[in-house]
Structure 1
Amino acid sequence: MIADETITEDSDQMTEEEDRNEGKFASQSNVEAVRRALSCPYCMAYMTAPIFTCVTGHTFCNECKPLLQRCPTCQASLDGPRNYTLEEMANDMKVSCQFDVNGCTFFDSTSNMRIHELECSLNDLPRNET
């Protein structure tokens, strides 16, 4: 009977620990998903409104649009509509600096992040890609 209780307690502790680790992984996955969704595929900076799309729906930033002749992702025409949903998300969401892997703790709106990342003292360190 005692062995069964010990096993149950150990498995409960393991489950709680796994839950915490899973929560950390989910949180990091969410951060990366937001970072990918809000990053321009051409300049890699966070996009701010207006956010444009190619005819197949890939997004790119306002600063890069004049530099592009074709979509940087699929080479389609740039005549797609603006992505108002992503613009709202970019306006409302606070994000971490892409150099957080190097120790930067700056956390703010995407418009402030564009400015910060250009000046971030940790941007010259190699970035660990996941």
Structure 2
Amino acid sequence: MKNLITLMLLLFSVVAFAQERGERRSEMSDEEMAILGAKRLAMQLDLNEEQEAKLKELYTKRIGEQRELMQERRKEREEIRKELQKERAKIREEHLEMSEEYKAELKKILTEEQYTKWEQLQEKRRKGRKMHMQKGRRNQG
């Protein structure tokens, strides 16, 4: 049990060490990373060849599992992003429908001249909001 805990701690330290060298890690294959990790630990713990081989197998398995997990998470995030886009499009469509209904009701209440003036006021407000938002973006950057 104690050896297993030690092995796990060392494995996590190797993973943390590998993350610090992300560039090198991305250039290496899974097999190369497993060999490097096993050799490094074999030197530190003075492991025999059989132990090193088993450790390499363990590392290879773990690296593969981690890669699969990362790919699954990437797919899940992409699916969530697509769902959010669909939801936003639906909300925009509903908002547009409500806006059109509102305008139709407003047109019934106002005279032609008043409605035209109201549309001009709305356009002026939209332009003002756009300019205000652009200023805010410039100040943030």
The normalised TM-score by structure 1 is 0.36
Greater RCO (CA < 8 Å, at least 6 residues apart): 1
The normalised TM-score by structure 2 is 0.33
Which structure features the higher share of strand residues?
1
Which structure features the higher share of helix residues?
2
- Please tell me whether Structure 1 or Structure 2 has the larger radius of gyration of its CA atoms: 2
